[in-house]
Structure 1
Amino acid sequence: LIPYIKETGFTHVEFMPLMEYPYDPSWGYQITGFYAATSRFGSPQDLMFLIDELHRNEIGVILDWVPSHFPGDANGLHRFDGSHLYEHEDPRKGFHPDWKSYIFNYGRNEVKSFLISNAVFWLERYHADGLRVDAVTSMLHLDYSRNEGEWEPNIYGGNVNLEAKTFLQEFNTAVYKEFGDNIITIAEESSDFPKLTKPVHDGGVGFGMKWMMGWMHDTLAYFKEDPIDRKFFHHKLTFASMYMYNENYMMPLSHDEVVHGKASLIYKMKGDEWQKFANLRALYVYMFTHPGAKLLFMGDEFGQTSEWNFKKSLDWHLLDYPVHKGLQTLVKDLNHLYRKETAFYENQFSPEGFEWVEADDTDNSVYIYLRKGKKKDNVLMIILNLTPRVLDYKIGVDAGSHWEIIFSSDDEKYAGSGVEPDIFREDQEEYKGHKKSISIKLPPLAGVVLRKKHMNVEKVKTINIKDKKESMSIKRSGNNKF
């Protein structure tokens, strides 16, 4: 695992629940032993060793944590002392109709203490770097997956579980007070619940990040469409920019998207084999260059063709085929490009880090946006051509700016068609509100990344021999001709 993660360039691994659970097909999300590492994979010391080795190799560790529900097994928490000790007695509050499991009574101080102590336990004893909290939407909404009459409003007549909100605020306050910036908490939350990642002292819930579920659903829906019809769904890819700074977002392509008949990511893509892989490569460029942290489920980086099955290994033999090896190489290069180019992450959660250049070209299914670092000239331009046509495309840019192409998902080493993007013209004339324009050849079904060139300018003092007066001249160095 560790050499593979280092080679592919990922910064963290997130483990699905490793706490003890009785039912294999629950994948660990029905926990009975909240303080026990599951014996399926070894001893507690084995898990500690694994985490230590990941840390020695500068790889962070995030653990899935499930304070939202627990199963009714006799050896678990359900009716622990013969009464509803951990769960609500009222099934409208204490029973999950979807998962046939039981909901903690967050109004009891003893239950809150049990759960917050458990969070601290995994961060302190096992040195985890973060907790991803499962099913937060179900915790915060009294009417989650319930019909009218099947839930009881709160004291104000609303659907917010006030006790659960208070518990999550106390949980976040406790772990950040104990561990500071050394850890992060992440909420799996699919609604528009306000201020989820805002500080508790400002009325927020206090999470470090939130899964960007809307982005995930819109993106996958878009890439399932035939390119000829994508003009009708164009703004599924622009809509996220309307809310992407409301919270600190993580963009997830998780295990939930490749199970239960939903198909693997590669088979969600439209077209023949070449188009499927080209689409997925372009999707990854869009994902990696979009504001927000990134989460990719294992196997997605090389185009696993079958749905995930917890009973067996991934289909590593697929890497014998050029299209799968090429996709893996693309993800590796995107990871390393992301680490190298600070404009991708310096203003990750700030509006100063993003700007649309072209958001409305529905006819060509072209998207163009800038990512900006903290320094004025630290700027990247991302261009997505989401049709199978090669395009000659004109783009408005700032006066005096010059650009170089640093990445294309259509490169032959990624099993692309090998159409090389090329800036074949620069015009000093206004175009779409910009003082200058460039024209670029865009590969089909591809993402291209450009970097604003840095002009090395240095002042050189010179002597005018003729009149003996000192003057100043400017010496420019770089790839451009002056």
Structure 2
Amino acid sequence: MAKTSKTTTQPTETTKKKVSKKEVVEVPEETQTPSVPVILKNVEAFSRFSDFDINLFKAGKHYRLFEKFGSHITEFQGVQGVYFAVWAPSAKSVSVIGNFNYWDKSSHHLFVRWDASGIWEGFIPYIGKGETYKFCIETQSNGFIEKMDPYAQHFEIPPRTASVVWDNWYEWTDSDWMAKRHTKNSLASPMSVYEVHVGSWRRKEGNEKLSFVELADQLVNYVKEMGFTHIEFMPVMEHPYEPSWGYQVLGFFAPSSRFGTPQDFMYLVEEFHKNDIGVLLDWVPSHFPGDAHGLYEYDGTHLFEHPDMRRGYHPDWKSYIFNYGRNEVRSFLISNAIYWLERYHADGLRVDAVASMLYLDYSRKHGEWEPNIFGGNHNLEAISLFKELNETVYAQFPDIQIIAEESTSFTGVSRPIYAGGLGFGQKWMMGWMNDTLNYFQKDPMYRRHHQDQLTFSTVYAFTENFMLPLSHDEIVYGKKSLIGKMPGDEWQRFANLRLLFSYMFTHPGTNLIFMGGEFGQTSEWNFEKSLDWWLLDHAPHKGIQNLMKALNNLYKTEPALYEKQFSHEGFEWIDTSDRNNSVVVYARKGNVHKEQLIIILNMTPIPKDNYRIGVPMQGVWTEIFNSDEHHFGGSGKTNKSVIMAEEIAWQGKAYSISLTIPPLGASILKVK
């Protein structure tokens, strides 16, 4: 733990004063340490800020603040050292403390700029990469607080809290992926996402976490073998409290040191890219924790958080909400998004808790929130930030995806800004997730009364670019695992899960599965231990895993499942009227008419022979997928032979076929 000096020495008048643009500053001898002499000379010479930078920063339009603020290894007047810059407009003084000066706040003072920007900066020679440090800030009440660097690229391993001087240089070798990722991230391409918590996907003996480098050796191969197109990491940014799962971020510009260095994480991303797998990162601009060394009351005032706690405090998470109307904070957040996309080659960001940002009354009772200037409950400043964020990011990175985790019916989340939308690329389809899981938890004998719950999602499926999530939030806090939600005996529970996944992958939209679901993890997710990989020694779990591989392959190789996944032209109900049998039939369509698929779902454990359905064209139909195959743990009620369409009108179609429908199963047909 970093040692903090108890000295009460006050800064000298020389170090406290504002420095004019051309002034040469000598640091008094009494503030120097014998081992590390301070040789600051011309402030303008060592500053990384131009007048243009300052104007952009004040206007909230500087999107590359990571190049200016923080700690930067550099050379000044022929001497190697570190340049420091921090925003603390209400501070009376700011000094850098660390092991190099025995955490003495009187040794190395920064200088406040002459332009009323609130930026303090300075150069300290003879220190470099790996040096631990904090900013010691003297507040207006004459107190001293020790704060982390908001722009630090690396931190000590928690529970230690010091920032670490680092660089993020890396010689990337993923140019092939970067050149073609516009096709991999296209809205007309398949996107099957594997959601992962880094610390608990798999652990070593003794419950020790895998490092980023070890994950590159194990996780990359697994995701590739399973056939997922993308991986989504729950927040990898530095966070002090592990039970937050990473969602209580403090080090917004640093991957967690629990798992290695920044370069180690870059290596992990690069290995995914070399294996044609995209990397999405969870990003949390909605709130931050109130740890004493963090962003809260950074310079003794509400600098990053909104000063009105009706807008600045989150009652659910006991955390603080950014002041989205403050220009410098907006620049901080947008710069952070660009940082991960540029420096870490991320292929997209999944923005967490968007709904909590959009609504002033989110999780607040009457009288606990203040309406906007029009008397409504929308947070106009957050809405403006989202539009600016998406407009800026997509202009620089048109080949990535920004995905909103938004749980309400807010209009136009994934619609273009010029059309009145927020400009996100995709939005999580929370309504589909809730309705579908609710339906599948019902005993099959009662499903006939709830078929509308299954079919309702297609009423609004094309109002947004939806991603279908079965995320971590649904398998914790007593909600049970996915397999634990399924009704019936053991065979029926596994058949139901196979049917759920089959329905998911043939429903319009992209897909996301949380780790463990792909092999039927039986217990709820526990962030403190590994997934139960030993379950794969048992045939039913291995069957679920085989099914997931097959669905990923089907999704990627059948254009009808992805080419028009966000358009009503890519979907057609054929039959939703057979409630007594709980059977639904629908078609998925791509750009080529003859490549469309027919999907038949049987929501009961009763197989159905000689079941007739209407088909859109004549010809020979072949079953290309059946969730009841023995390979998946099913009973084997499949259609092995080809099926000739007959000229018998049925369900509004001129042609029809007769086939076997498996129990609690899905059958997918394609015409030759």
Equivalent in the alignment of 1:148: 366
Cα distance 1:177–1:426, how it changes in 2: closer, same or farther (>3 A)?
A: closer
User: SS in structure 1 opposite 2:524?
Assistant: coil
2:463 to 230, 243, 246: 246
Q: How does 1:127-206 map to 2 (within 5 A)?
A: 127-180=345-398, 182-206=399-423
* Runs of at least 5 residues in structure 1 that lack an aligned partner in the other structure: 454-482
| C-alpha contact 1:399 1:428 (8 A) present in aligned 2 | no
User: SS in structure 2 opposite 1:360?
Assistant: coil
Determine whether 1:306 maps to 2:306.
no
Q: 2:667 is matched by which residue type in structure 1?
A: V
| C-alpha contact 2:621 2:643 (8 A) present in aligned 1 | no
Equivalent in the alignment of 1:120: 338
| C-alpha contact 1:222 1:233 (8 A) present in aligned 2 | yes
TM-score (norm 1): 0.92
Q: 2:260 is matched by which residue type in structure 1?
A: G
| C-alpha contact 2:620 2:643 (8 A) present in aligned 1 | no
Q: How does 1:68-147 map to 2 (within 5 A)?
A: 68-147=286-365
Equivalent in the alignment of 1:28: 246
1:44 to 245, 248, 262: 262
In the alignment, the residues of structure 1 paired with residue 577 and residue 283 of structure 2 have an alpha-carbon distance, to the nearest angstrom, of 41
Determine whether 1:452 maps to 2:671.
yes
**Shift of residue 27 of structure 1?**
0.6
In the alignment, the residues of structure 2 paired with residue 398 and residue 245 of structure 1 have an alpha-carbon distance, to the nearest angstrom, of 22
| C-alpha contact 1:425 1:440 (8 A) present in aligned 2 | no
Q: 2:441 is matched by which residue type in structure 1?
A: K
| C-alpha contact 1:421 1:443 (8 A) present in aligned 2 | no
| C-alpha contact 1:347 1:372 (8 A) present in aligned 2 | yes
| C-alpha contact 2:575 2:651 (8 A) present in aligned 1 | no
User: SS in structure 2 opposite 1:361?
Assistant: coil
| C-alpha contact 2:620 2:644 (8 A) present in aligned 1 | no
Equivalent in the alignment of 1:433: 652
Q: 1:116 is matched by which residue type in structure 2?
A: I
**Shift of residue 438 of structure 1?**
1.0
User: SS in structure 2 opposite 1:73?
Assistant: coil
Equivalent in the alignment of 2:538: 321
In the alignment, the residues of structure 2 paired with residue 106 and residue 36 of structure 1 have an alpha-carbon distance, to the nearest angstrom, of 22
Determine whether 1:415 maps to 2:627.
no
| C-alpha contact 1:424 1:441 (8 A) present in aligned 2 | no
**Shift of residue 90 of structure 1?**
1.1
User: SS in structure 1 opposite 2:517?
Assistant: coil
Determine whether 1:283 maps to 2:500.
yes
Larger Rg: 2
Q: 2:445 is matched by which residue type in structure 1?
A: I
* Residues 344-363 of structure 1: per-residue CA shift (max 9 Å, x gap): 00111111100000122211
Query: Which is worse superposed, 19-28 or 358-367?
Result: 358-367
1:258 to 448, 453, 475: 475
| C-alpha contact 1:251 1:293 (8 A) present in aligned 2 | yes
* Residues 62-95 of structure 1: per-residue CA shift (max 9 Å, x gap): 0000000000001111100100111111111111
In the alignment, the residues of structure 1 paired with residue 603 and residue 651 of structure 2 have an alpha-carbon distance, to the nearest angstrom, of 21
In the alignment, the residues of structure 1 paired with residue 442 and residue 483 of structure 2 have an alpha-carbon distance, to the nearest angstrom, of 13
Equivalent in the alignment of 1:19: 237
| C-alpha contact 1:95 1:102 (8 A) present in aligned 2 | yes
User: SS in structure 2 opposite 1:267?
Assistant: helix
Equivalent in the alignment of 2:224: 6
**Shift of residue 425 of structure 1?**
7.1
Equivalent in the alignment of 1:348: 565
In the alignment, the residues of structure 1 paired with residue 553 and residue 655 of structure 2 have an alpha-carbon distance, to the nearest angstrom, of 31
In the alignment, the residues of structure 1 paired with residue 646 and residue 475 of structure 2 have an alpha-carbon distance, to the nearest angstrom, of 46
**Shift of residue 203 of structure 1?**
1.4
Cα distance 1:26–1:428, how it changes in 2: closer, same or farther (>3 A)?
A: same
User: SS in structure 2 opposite 1:160?
Assistant: coil
**Shift of residue 426 of structure 1?**
4.5
In the alignment, the residues of structure 2 paired with residue 219 and residue 360 of structure 1 have an alpha-carbon distance, to the nearest angstrom, of 18
* Residues 437-461 of structure 1: per-residue CA shift (max 9 Å, x gap): 21111110001100022xxxxxxxx
Determine whether 1:208 maps to 2:425.
yes
User: SS in structure 1 opposite 2:530?
Assistant: coil
In the comparison of the two structures, how many residue pairs are matched? 452
* Residues 257-299 of structure 1: per-residue CA shift (max 9 Å, x gap): 1111111000000111100000000000000011100000001
| C-alpha contact 1:32 1:75 (8 A) present in aligned 2 | no
Determine whether 1:336 maps to 2:550.
no
In the alignment, the residues of structure 2 paired with residue 200 and residue 123 of structure 1 have an alpha-carbon distance, to the nearest angstrom, of 21
Q: 2:326 is matched by which residue type in structure 1?
A: R
User: SS in structure 1 opposite 2:310?
Assistant: helix
| C-alpha contact 1:13 1:61 (8 A) present in aligned 2 | yes
Identity %: 61
User: SS in structure 2 opposite 1:177?
Assistant: helix
Cα distance 1:337–1:424, how it changes in 2: closer, same or farther (>3 A)?
A: closer
**Shift of residue 424 of structure 1?**
6.5
User: SS in structure 2 opposite 1:36?
Assistant: strand
User: SS in structure 1 opposite 2:659?
Assistant: strand
TM-score (norm 2): 0.66
* Runs of at least 5 residues in structure 2 that lack an aligned partner in the other structure: 1-218
Q: How does 1:355-366 map to 2 (within 5 A)?
A: 355-366=572-583
In the alignment, the residues of structure 2 paired with residue 389 and residue 195 of structure 1 have an alpha-carbon distance, to the nearest angstrom, of 42
Query: Which is worse superposed, 330-339 or 427-436?
Result: 427-436
